[in-house]
């Protein structure tokens, strides 16, 4: 059974704001944290591994899992591409006495937070500006112009939700943002179960 009394750490942000770098940093510092591998229907990028970065699956398989109620949350994050947090993934992490780290989009994060408000820490990573976000997405080299446009449009909308999260960190300087996140997460880990 998925329990509301287990801790969950949510790191959310518009795409390109640096949430993955910050999540990865936190996981190297705190062995208690474990990345929650999401299900996704997009194609794996060349540097990604199935079961490590995502559980890559077809849309049919994903839809089957929706029907079987296997997700804590799921969203169609980009045009026809579905992403979701599997209940089984969180249960596996909790059974190892670890805290799952959900690196998920803003809508999904709001959803999880609503459903599991008791022991969840949600951190919103804010990009310093939309111009800077555009520059970061372009320099990734993995996105097409259309995909960058879609991500920028979505980012502007997502930033309007930042006040719904427990904490907001502006990622102007990655090192500084990591340090801020570290101190918040340290307190959260030390909080009594």
Q: Interface with ligand 5GP by CB under 6 A: which residues?
A: 15, 38, 42, 73, 75, 77, 83-85, 103-105, 108
Nearer to ligand 5GP by Cβ, of 85 and 120: the residue is 85
Give the H or E element holding residue 76: strand 71-78
Cα(135)–Cα(55) distance, integer angstroms: 29
The distance of closest approach from Cβ of residue 105 to ligand 5GP in the complex, given in angstroms and rounded to an integer, is 4
Nearer to ligand 5GP by Cβ, of 103 and 126: the residue is 103
The distance of closest approach from Cβ of residue 93 to ligand 5GP in the complex, given in angstroms and rounded to an integer, is 14
The distance of closest approach from Cβ of residue 83 to ligand 5GP in the complex, given in angstroms and rounded to an integer, is 4
Nearer to ligand 5GP by Cβ, of 73 and 180: the residue is 73
Cα(146)–Cα(100) distance, integer angstroms: 32
The distance of closest approach from Cβ of residue 186 to ligand 5GP in the complex, given in angstroms and rounded to an integer, is 23
Of the candidates 132, 152, 155, 156, the residue with the CA atom closest to the CA atom of residue 143 = 152
- Residue 178 Ramachandran class (φ > 0 left, ψ -120 to 50 alpha, else beta): alpha
R_g over Cα of the chain = 16
Nearer to ligand 5GP by Cβ, of 77 and 185: the residue is 77
Neighbours of 123 (CB within 10 A): 25
Of the candidates 55, 60, 57, the residue with the CA atom closest to the CA atom of residue 88 = 55
Nearer to ligand 5GP by Cβ, of 100 and 185: the residue is 100
Residue nearest ligand 5GP (C-beta atom): 108
The distance of closest approach from Cβ of residue 192 to ligand 5GP in the complex, given in angstroms and rounded to an integer, is 28
């Amino acid at each position: 059974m998925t329990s509301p009394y287990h801790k969950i750490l949510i790191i959310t942000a518009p795409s390109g704001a640096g949430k993955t770098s910050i999540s990865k940093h936190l996981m190297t510092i705190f062995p208690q944290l474990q990345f929650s591998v999401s299900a996704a229907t997009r194609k794996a990028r060349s540097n990604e591994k199935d079961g490590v970065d995502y559980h890559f699956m077809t849309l049919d398989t994903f839809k089957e899992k929706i029907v079987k109620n296997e997700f804590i949350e799921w969203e169609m994050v980009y045009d026809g591409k579905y992403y979701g947090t599997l209940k089984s993934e969180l249960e596996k992490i909790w059974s190892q006495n670890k805290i799952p780290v959900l690196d998920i989009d803003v809508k999904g994060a709001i959803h999880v937070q609503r459903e599991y408000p008791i022991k969840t820490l949600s951190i919103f990573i804010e990009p310093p500006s939309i111009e800077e976000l555009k520059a970061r997405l372009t320099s990734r080299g993995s996105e097409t112009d259309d995909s960058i446009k879609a991500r920028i449009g979505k980012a502007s909308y997502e930033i309007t939700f930042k006040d719904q999260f427990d904490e907001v960190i502006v990622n102007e300087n990655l090192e500084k943002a990591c340090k801020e996140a570290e101190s918040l997460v340290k307190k959260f880990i030390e909080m009594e179960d």
